[in-house]
Structures are given as C-alpha cells and as structure tokens.
Structure 1
Amino acid sequence: MSRIASVLIPMPLPEAFDYAEPEGMDLAPGDQVAVPLGPRLIRGVVTGIRDGHGGNRPLKPVAERLDDPPLPPGTVEFVQWAARYAVDVPGQPLAIALRGARAPKPRPQRLVRLTGTHPARATPARAKVLEAAAGSDGLSAADLARAAGVSAGVVKGLIDEGVLALHEVVAEAAFDPPDLARRGSDLNASQAAAADVLKAMATEGGFGVALLDGVTGSGKTEVYLEAAAAALAADPEAQVLILLPEIALTQAVIARVGQRFGAAPGEWHSDVAPPGRRRVWEAVAAGRCRIVVGARSALFLPFRKLRLIVVDEEHDSSFKQEEGFIYHARDLAVARGKIEDAAVILASATPSLESLRNAETGRYRWVRLAGRHGAAGLPDIELIDLRETPPEAGRWLSPPLIAAMAETYARGEQTLLFLNRRGYAPLVLCKACGERMTAPDTESWLVEHRYTGRLVCHLTGFSMPKPAACPHCGAKDSLVSIGPGVERVEEEARALFPEARIAVFSSDTVFDAREARRLVESMAAGDIDILVATQAAAKGHNFPKLTLVGVVDADLGLRGGDLRAAERTYQLLAQATGRAGRRDRPGRALLQTYAPEHAVMQALKAQDRDAFVEAEMAEREMAGLPPFGRLAAVIASGPDAAQLDAFCRTMAQAAPNTPGVEVYGPADAPLGLVRGRRRKRFLVRADRGVDLSAYMAAWRARVRPPGAIRLAIDIDPYSFL
C-alpha cells in the first residue's frame, strides 16, 4: 500500500507539503529528503508518514532520501513548537535547524593506501614506504613520504605501479570525549551547595529549571560546569548545551570548558566557517560531540540526547533574535528542555524580572551564591554628578574620573571606560543648515567612524565616506560630530595619558572570535592600561589587574520609551561595574550621570538590587506588564504610506475581542522609515492566563496583507523601534 510523506521545507511556506513515498524508500520522520517544488529539487524534512489509501489526487514522489543525518524527534517537535509560539511559518525555524546540514562539506582528503599488489621491483626505499603505509589507515602522499624518510618520487612510482592507490576521504569531525575523571575548581561553601543542587537536578532526569543567581565574580561558571560534568557522567550518551550572548564570551567559556574537561567543546556561532558548522552539526547529530558552546541558534542543533541546557547571562537582550524568525533564546531554551526532558540552568548576576518572578513563585528553583569567590569583594560605586563637575568643553571625561584614572595608572592597574555606543560620534549634522546625516530611505542617523573616515548606518549597513561639504546645502567644512562614541573617548584618553597602552573593544574594532580572544587575553595579561569598550567587554570577563571602571554616560539606556529601560540599564551597568576588583585588589566604579537621584543610579550606588527589583516589580504589576502580563508587537511595513495606513485601519478592525487582551495602535514606529519602507506598530497587552500566541495567530488569519505590505509578529518584544 502506498504511503504519503509530509515534508517540511526550509522556506517561508505555511505548512508541510504531501509527497508520495516511492516503493522501497521506507521513509521515517526526521529523514532529510529531496522533493520537487516547481521546477527544482528542494531539501526538506519528513515530519510524518501516513497511509495513502483514499487519496483523490496524484502526488509528486519524493525524489530521494539524502545521506545527511535525520533530525531527531525532539528537534522536529521543537521546530514545530517554536513556529507556533512565534506565530510564524515552520519553515523559518527549520531553516535555522538545517543551517549546518546545508553548509558545504569539508574538502575531501586524498589519502594513499596499500592495494595488496606487490611491487615489480623491490628497493630499500620502497620497503620503507610499504612499512609506513601498512602501519596507517591512510596518509597523504607527502605525509607518507615524510613518514618513510624517502622522496616524493618513490611514493609516486608505487602509485603509478598500482601498489598504492589514492582514495578521497571526508574525515569525520573528531571531538575528544570529555575527561570526566578530571577534577574541577576548588569551590567555596556557597558554590559547593549550589553545585550539589544543580548536579542533583541534572542527574535525576526529567525537566526542571533553575535560576543560578550570584553577584558578578561569584563563580557561576564553575558551578554550572560541575552540573554539566554530573550530567555527562550519569549517561554516556548525554549532551550539554551552553548558550552565551556574545562571541567574545564564547571564546572565554570555551577555554574554561577545555580546562575543566580536557577537551574542546563544539563551537557554534556566526563566526564559525560553514565547513566548521557542518562538522559540528554532523557530530552533534551522531552523538560524537557531547558539549556545545554557542550563540542562540545553537538551540536548534540536532541533539540526540540533550540532558542539560545552560543559558549564561540569561538576562542579556542579545538572546533576542529581532529579524527573520523572531524569538528569544532563553524562552525557547526552557521549551526545548521540556520537549527533551532535560534540565535547564539560567545563570546571571542580574536576572531578568521574568526569571526572578518565576523563581519567587516556585516555578524555577532559586539557587543563590552568597558572594564573590576567594578574597575579592564587590567594587565601591560612586556617582559623579555632571551638573556639578562637568567635563571641559568638547570633552567627555569629568575631572573626578580623570583623577581616578591617573591614580589607577600610577599604581600599574587597569581602567575600563565603558560607553555602549560604537563609532566616533552618533550624529553628524551641518552647522550651516542643521541637516542631520541619515542613511538613504531611512530615518536612522549615520554614525561617524573616525578610524575608517566613513559614516555608517548601524541599522541597514549603509556606509559612505564622510563628505567635505553638506549634501543638503553644499556648505564646505560645515559637518560637525555630535556626542561621543568609543572612538572619541579613546581619542580623549590618549590625549590625557599619552604613555598609556590603550585599546578599543567594540564590534567595529573586533571583527571575529579570534581577535576577540586576542584582545581579552591581552587585557587579562596586563598588556593594556586603559580599555575603552561597549557591552562586548562589560560581562563575563575576568581581568585580574582591572580595578577602575568608569561609565562615561550612565544615563544612555534610560532615554526613550522602552518599558525595560530601567531594568536593562541596571543590568548593564551592574555587569560593567562588576568587572572591577575581581581578584585580590579592591575595585572602584565611577558613574557619570546627569540624574544621580534616579532610582537606577541610587540602587547601583547602594548595590541594593532587591530594592530596585521590588520597586520595578510593583510598577509592572500595577500596569499589568511583564512579568505580570504578556506583550506582543505587530510591525506592518510598506513602500506606500496611504496603502499602509488603510491596511492598518483594516487590521485594527479585525482584532479579536477577547477578555484580558488590549490592543494599542496603530501608531508610527519610532523608526518610521527603514530601507524605503514606512513602518507602523501595534502593541498587544494580555493577562498571564491568555494564550497570546493563539490570539495573535487568530488575528493574523483574519487579514490578508496586499502584496507590498509585510507583517512581522514579535511575541514578548524587547525592542520598540
């Protein structure tokens, strides 16, 4: 009897398509197949097989089953769940899950092996070659010649004679198994107690979530690595995933995993070359790679037996994917843990309010670390009121901060100047006509980058040389730089301390993981006196000689209407100031602010997280906002403003009338024009008991956007642009 295969295709298509299973192919869910779609063959994944009896239309047959490993059942289920949760088509998360499978395979190696034929003429040199070849599973011709101590011509002669043959071999990725007998770091009493709780959770089996909550420098990494070791030791097939928000952090944790287990983990992020991704993907699917350290998309890897997921710096907004398939890796990590029956550890010194609420109500285990590891204490935090002690005109560092930097430099210690703004200046305008330089067809300001002499749009990627005259009015030498970026702060620091060794750490100056590792190692070794950095260096790093952190613009994150502005500012500045004094030298942090009376600044100065969280929670509860309610956003965009307005009115009228749900908008998005497309936003607030994804799916089904209009739905939005 014929069977029908439902095949999900990694494209923005609404559902799986049905194909006939050819006789004898014997497909199973998870198999990767090639299927016809229009005039071409497309890779897809079988999501179901059913009896084909009674079908009333002919179906195209599956063209072939591919040699690539099938997706495990948990991965297939997770992909489909993620699509429903995000109110998106399932082909979008499937494309992420197949990213490694679709990457090019590593180039095959040409290895020389014995054929069993004896040489027509025996010589001592040939005898050495045959002996070396017999002792290996295959070597390249050059390696075989070196191993035998003969010239390449001897090997070539044996190949020509048929005594040796060349074989093309694609080597399997070799991931050394973790050494589970290796001893971990010495833990203090608080760390040991926390590790015992997490080890029990990781080995007893079943789904569970724990919030590992400890101040900066309390040793959270060592604690969760003990839980990882326990999970791996409890099951010889168990796999562990450690998610991190930044590539720079990935490099540091990979080094610590290597030290703990005596073997490097699989590495997964955008900076890994496609063949490398292919190797990791296949090794994970085969169970040969037992530990993976990676960015958010590593969550979609085809784990055979995932037993523990760690989300380090769980509060970090970098876990939110804002384009394409929109998701938050922390939330999806919890969902994948439930699907795989795995333990989940969320680790942070400044947990998100959502995770804190889940811990307070008992949904998550709350595991706390009492203080910093060893002799280190938390840094003293002082506020510099810029209204009383402003910088000199055209400067950005205040006299108290400069004095503290001079003292630190004189003692041979390090300073971190933190400013979460890339480039030289965030705005370039014409002093003659007031024109602000923006990217074409976009309201986003162009950021000046003095190193390259270019103006760059960080939203669209547009770049242009800085012009000599204003493009709007033609005035020459009229373009001025407004505000500081890290490059401008570095320029000022060099002028103040010309003998100091100064470096900049931002995504514009550190282009890949290798460069990030080099810069972090230089800072840790004491080869840098002053590091000017964005958030890339503000979390997760240990710099023994760093004793002063200066926050150049502490008010930066508080501007705008983001409901998470206060929470995010507190988290970021707590993480940044927490870089100071992490070893035996006392640390100090100075925050430049125009609003020292703000609740965030006062909480940071007092290092009273609980008071800040209590006040912020009370405000959120009154408004029914997360974590006491749910949010979703709808972003509609189109090239024609009138058509977009008309569609948004239609969409507003189509919103389902559901108790516990409020719809606000449409309103112009703060960035109302991006890449020539006008943008409108709806914001939906729902009570906790409402299935928000189902509500949004029902609303989406009631409208059909015209061809030029695009809709994007964001469940639990983090950006309000």
Structure 2
Amino acid sequence: MQTAVGARAFSVTLLDGVTGSGKTEVYLEAIATCLRQGRQALVMLPEIALSSQWTERFERRFGVAPAVWHSDLPSRTRKITWQAVAEGKAPVVVGARSALFLPFPDLGLVVVDEEHEAAFKQQDGVVYNARDMAVVRARLSGCAAILVSATPSLETVINVETGRYAHLRLAARHAGARLPQISLVDLRETPAERGRFLAPPLIQAVKQTLERGEQAMLFLNRRGYAPLTLCRACGHRMQCPNCTAWLVEHRTRHRLLCHHCGHTLPIPEECPACGMRDSLTPVGPGIERITEEAAAVFPEARRMVMASDTISGPHAAAAAAHAIEAREVDLIIGTQLVAKGWHFPHLTFVGVVDADLGLAGGELRASERTVQLLHQVAGRAGRAEAPGQVMLQTFIPDHPVMQALLDGDLDAFMETEAESRRDGEWPPFGRLAALIVSADTAILADTVARDLGRAAPHGDGVLVLGPAPAPMALLRGRHRRRLLLKVRRDMAVQPILRSWLASVRVPAGARVDVDVDPISFL
C-alpha cells in the first residue's frame, strides 16, 4: 500500500479484510507515506457521524486532528477549511462525498472507506457516485486511490478480477480476536409472542450477555415506531398526500411522518375515513417499538438508541461512543447507523430483529446490499478478547443470503451473484441508465414518458424497458414515470442518452432526470 502511494502515480487498490482486521491501520500507514512526501490526503466516510470516532483515532496516531468537511459544518468553518485546503495547509481531510470537490493543489492519496456503501451515491441535484468519482479524481491528480471494505461491491470485485485494481486482503482479525459465531432464528418455528418482535432464543441470548457484564446490540434498519398505521374498523391506511408512501409513526414525537417529503401531522384520535375513535393501530416494528419492547423485557439494562433521529451529528455520535466505551450502556438499539465502522470492545452480542427486511422489493442489488449490511452489523460483535455471537431472526432461513452469513462464505455468495448478473448482462457486466420523468400532473408525466418510449434507441446491444410508473409514482407532489436503458458493457451510454433526449421536447411543468449506473430503482 505504501509502495502505491510512494510511486506518485495513479493506481487503485482494494483493501479487503474481515471486520476488525485492522484495515484502518493499514491505510493510516499509507497516509503517513503520503504526508512524508509533502502531499495531501483525502479520506471519505459514508456517514458524517462516523467522523467522530475516526478523527479521535487519527489524532492518537498522528498527534493532530485532520480537517473535517461535511454539510453540517457552519459556513464560516467550511470557508476556513476550503481556504486551508487550497493553500496546502490542510494535509489530511476527512469528509463526506462533497469533499471530493475541494481544491487540493497536490493530492497524493484518496481513501474511500466502506466503499460498498450506497450513501456514496448522490441522488438529488447532480447525480454521481462518489466512489467512482474518487477514482476519477485520483486519476486526474496522478495519485493512489484505496477502496476499503469488509464486503466490497460486486463492481469493485470484478475490477480486481479483471486486473484494473490491485488487491490487498487481511484474512484475520487484529490481535487474535475471533470472528463472531452466527446463528439463525427461524421465526416460523420459534416466533415471538403475539404483539412482540423478539423471539425467545434472542431474548435468552441477550439476558445471558447482560448477566456476564457484557454489552449487547439489537439491530433493526427501520426508523420510527411503526411503518404503517391502519384503522381496525375500516382498514384505512394513513398515507402521505404527496408521496406513494405510508406515514411512519414516531411515537416519541406523537407524529406521523413521511420519510420522503417530510410531511407530518399529529396522530389522529379518530380514523379520517370512518370517524371511529381509538381505532388506529400501528402495524410492524420500528426502532422505537423495539426499544419499548426491550424496556419491558430487559428492565434493568441501561439502553441507548443509535439512529439518525437520536444521533444528530458527529458531536452526538462522539458522546454516544464514549458512553458505550465507558460501559455506561448495556444494550444498544440501532438502525444502519450502528453497522458502519464502530469499534465497541465490550460488545459481544448482536441480535438482528428482521434480517429479511432488505430483501423485499426485488431490486437488482437487494441480496448484495442485504448481505453487506448484515455482515457489517455482525462485525460489531466480539472485536476484543471476548468472543462474539450474532443471531439473525428470519422467516426465510434457506435464502442464499442467510446461508452465506451462516457459513461465513461471502466469496461464494458473490461468485453466485456475479454469475446470475453475467447471464443477463446486468451491472457490472452491462450498463444501465434510468430516465425519470416527473411532472405536475399524471397526464403530463404519461405524455412525456410515452414520447420518450416512442423515440427510444434501438440496435444490437441496446434495450429500453418502459415507460412504466415508478415504484414511488408520486414523490413530493410530482408524478413520476421511469424508463431504463440497458446496453452492453463495451458501449458508451452518454452519446446514446444525448441523442435520445435531444429527440423529445419536454414541456414546461415536466422534467427528465438521468441517473447513469443507478443503485436505486424507486
């Protein structure tokens, strides 16, 4: 890794290793090499909240804090940091995806930590994948790029196999720590009690962990109290008026909230459809509901909720991490925020409440992203001397994702995933571009989408799917339709898109957004 940085030339290396194997220490050594050359280094993290624990680790290693860049910083701080970078006075910057566009005069290294994370894809405004743009920035700067992950994306794995990227793998955990033991709880055979969501085996495992004086974690990748509220009398479902989405109950705020547009209203006392009082009931669990159940089942445990609703930024994340490390917390209850890079040495048990959650919807990368997320959250357990244990609650224990996690054979899973995509020339063996039509009215959206469909390109290796209503057919009050362009890997997609879009007039009140290499199909 230091050799790649020392070469002062463009290169890309995948730093791959099991959770807790010391990947951060390896690329910190690469940063040290970069600094000895008098050049600057950029480290990109998928979550702003992760910067707290990372910056403390960096400061212990180098004796000085790095410059930090993200959207939550005050404008004056961003101005000072921007100027320091431009003048070469900020040797190391750690930041979110927008840090890519800082004016580095002599960039010597770009590190993308957790390179597989979907958070690196900018979905609004100018659409881009910061992981891929980091490679472009490294090429323009003539420097090394390091992509870091315990669960690399299939695109990166294929780039390694084809020789485009170098590969360094760390096969064992640091200091002799062992990987956690993973087991499945088949909810068809051992369900939770009626109205509850924690199955008896998981409850027993948490109790045993707490009795040993160790820390436990419950993981559910869903914010709020319940994802759906319906009327027991008439079946009415509380839906967002601006989006094709159910309103999520946030009981701590006594509000119903749309997670897409932010629409909110107080929880009604009666059904807006039939007028029945006290008939609205929450359906399904969110992180708040699991916290409520945990309080009833583990009343003596000191609990902490780690979710974007409770951890508002790096300072709150730092305070939470310190409390956990100081053993002021017995039971951590978290969403995907807890899966990314945290090091809690006393945490030995992780229970996943709904391991099947990410597999719904049939998206291209659903299995890949689910196995990555669950492997990452499992990796929080047993990172020090005490062995770790992980339990996954599932209704489909025979699913390839569950079996891959149970067997600990992610390589075989990724090979199978690659073969399934290669057969249909789906990414990374083909290229996709999504055209998302949005308009003030459904008729206008249908008209523009129909015109695009009629003008769709044709030819060998070119296929257009759609138009069709988007799964999120109404978003922030705008009606949406989708078309998907699929081409061979060796074909340039941009000229095809330019010619296609130039052939169709888009009237006022409508717009067409283009997403090349989409990771979401909503």
TM bin (shorter chain): over 0.9
- The reply to whether residue 221 of structure 1 matches residue 39 of structure 2 is no
CA RMSD of aligned residues (A): 0.9
- Superposed CA offset, 1:140-174 (max 9, x none): xxxxxxxxxxxxxxxxxxxxxxxxxxxxxxxxxxx
Indicate if the aligned counterparts of 2:110 and 2:138 stay in contact, CA closer than 8 A: yes
Indicate if the aligned counterparts of 1:265 and 1:291 stay in contact, CA closer than 8 A: yes
Tell me the residue number matched to 1:637. Answer: 438
Tell me which of 539, 553, 570 is aligned to 2:354.
553
Tell me the residue number matched to 1:248. Answer: 49
Tell me which of 188, 209, 213 is aligned to 1:387.
188
Structure 1 distance, partners of 2:503, 2:28, is 48
Indicate if the aligned counterparts of 1:321 and 1:328 stay in contact, CA closer than 8 A: yes
Q: Per-residue deviation at 1:478?
A: 1.0
SS class of match (1:696):
helix
- The reply to whether residue 367 of structure 1 matches residue 156 of structure 2 is no
Give 2:342's aligned amino acid.
H
Indicate if the aligned counterparts of 2:16 and 2:167 stay in contact, CA closer than 8 A: yes
Tell me the residue number matched to 1:442. Answer: 243
Q: Per-residue deviation at 1:247?
A: 1.4
Tell me which of 653, 656, 660 is aligned to 2:457.
656
Give 2:488's aligned amino acid.
D
Q: Per-residue deviation at 1:442?
A: 1.6
Q: Per-residue deviation at 1:640?
A: 1.7
- Superposed CA offset, 1:298-324 (max 9, x none): 111111111100000000011111111
Structure 2 distance, partners of 1:503, 1:699, is 52
Structure 1 distance, partners of 2:242, 2:298, is 42
Indicate if the aligned counterparts of 1:353 and 1:627 stay in contact, CA closer than 8 A: yes
Indicate if the aligned counterparts of 1:271 and 1:513 stay in contact, CA closer than 8 A: no
Give 2:147's aligned amino acid.
L
- Superposed CA offset, 1:6-54 (max 9, x none): xxxxxxxxxxxxxxxxxxxxxxxxxxxxxxxxxxxxxxxxxxxxxxxxx
- The reply to whether residue 478 of structure 1 matches residue 286 of structure 2 is no
Structure 2 distance, partners of 1:226, 1:518, is 27
Q: Per-residue deviation at 1:704?
A: 2.1
Tell me the residue number matched to 2:262. Answer: 461
Q: Per-residue deviation at 1:629?
A: 0.9
Tell me which of 304, 313, 322 is aligned to 2:114.
313
- The reply to whether residue 676 of structure 1 matches residue 472 of structure 2 is no
- Superposed CA offset, 1:473-517 (max 9, x none): 221111110100111001101101111100110001111221111
Tell me which of 334, 338, 359 is aligned to 1:533.
334
- Superposed CA offset, 1:198-243 (max 9, x none): 1010111111000000000001000001001101102x2x110000
Q: Per-residue deviation at 1:255?
A: 1.2
- The reply to whether residue 207 of structure 1 matches residue 10 of structure 2 is yes
Tell me which of 402, 406, 419 is aligned to 1:618.
419
Q: Per-residue deviation at 1:441?
A: 2.4
Structure 2 residue runs of 5 or longer lacking an equivalent are none
- The reply to whether residue 710 of structure 1 matches residue 511 of structure 2 is yes
Structure 1 distance, partners of 2:325, 2:262, is 32
Greater Rg, structure 1 or structure 2? 1
- Superposed CA offset, 1:331-374 (max 9, x none): 11111111111110000000000000001111000110121000
SS class of match (1:464):
strand
Structure 2 distance, partners of 1:244, 1:289, is 18
Structure 2 distance, partners of 1:627, 1:675, is 31
Give 1:632's aligned amino acid.
A
Give 1:375's aligned amino acid.
G
Structure 2 distance, partners of 1:609, 1:452, is 40
- The reply to whether residue 572 of structure 1 matches residue 411 of structure 2 is no
Q: RCO (CA 8 Å, sep 6+): is it higher in 1 or 2?
A: 2
Structure 1 distance, partners of 2:473, 2:233, is 26
Alignment of 1:279-298 (within 5 A): 279-298=80-99
TM-score normalized with structure 1 length = 0.72
Q: Per-residue deviation at 1:430?
A: 1.2
Structure 2 distance, partners of 1:361, 1:339, is 22
Give 1:485's aligned amino acid.
G
SS class of match (1:366):
strand
Give 2:149's aligned amino acid.
S
SS class of match (1:541):
coil
Indicate if the aligned counterparts of 2:354 and 2:392 stay in contact, CA closer than 8 A: yes
Give 2:175's aligned amino acid.
G
SS class of match (2:398):
coil
Tell me which of 583, 589, 607 is aligned to 2:384.
583
Q: Per-residue deviation at 1:698?
A: 2.2
Structure 1 residue runs of 5 or longer lacking an equivalent are 1-197
Tell me the residue number matched to 1:232. Answer: 35
Structure 1 distance, partners of 2:91, 2:500, is 42
Structure 2 distance, partners of 1:664, 1:227, is 45
Q: Per-residue deviation at 1:643?
A: 2.1
SS class of match (1:308):
strand
Give 1:490's aligned amino acid.
T
The ranges of structure 1 where at least 4 consecutive aligned residues each deviate by more than 6 angstroms after the TM superposition are none
- Superposed CA offset, 1:79-133 (max 9, x none): xxxxxxxxxxxxxxxxxxxxxxxxxxxxxxxxxxxxxxxxxxxxxxxxxxxxxxx
- The reply to whether residue 493 of structure 1 matches residue 301 of structure 2 is no
How many residue pairs end up in the alignment?
522
Tell me the residue number matched to 1:666. Answer: 467
SS class of match (2:290):
helix
- The reply to whether residue 408 of structure 1 matches residue 209 of structure 2 is yes
Q: Percent identity?
A: 54
SS class of match (1:374):
helix
Structure 2 distance, partners of 1:416, 1:345, is 31
Tell me the residue number matched to 1:431. Answer: 232
Indicate if the aligned counterparts of 2:260 and 2:476 stay in contact, CA closer than 8 A: no
Q: Per-residue deviation at 1:439?
A: 1.6
Tell me which of 70, 77, 90 is aligned to 1:269.
70
Structure 2 distance, partners of 1:694, 1:507, is 40
Tell me the residue number matched to 1:542. Answer: 343
Give 2:454's aligned amino acid.
Q
Indicate if the aligned counterparts of 2:242 and 2:261 stay in contact, CA closer than 8 A: no
Tell me the residue number matched to 1:517. Answer: 318
- Superposed CA offset, 1:421-449 (max 9, x none): 00111111111221111122222111111
Structure 2 distance, partners of 1:314, 1:706, is 39
- Superposed CA offset, 1:510-563 (max 9, x none): 112211111112112211111110010112011111000000000000000211
Structure 1 distance, partners of 2:501, 2:26, is 44
Q: Per-residue deviation at 1:614?
A: 1.0
Tell me the residue number matched to 1:601. Answer: 402
SS class of match (1:647):
helix
SS class of match (2:174):
coil
SS class of match (2:291):
helix
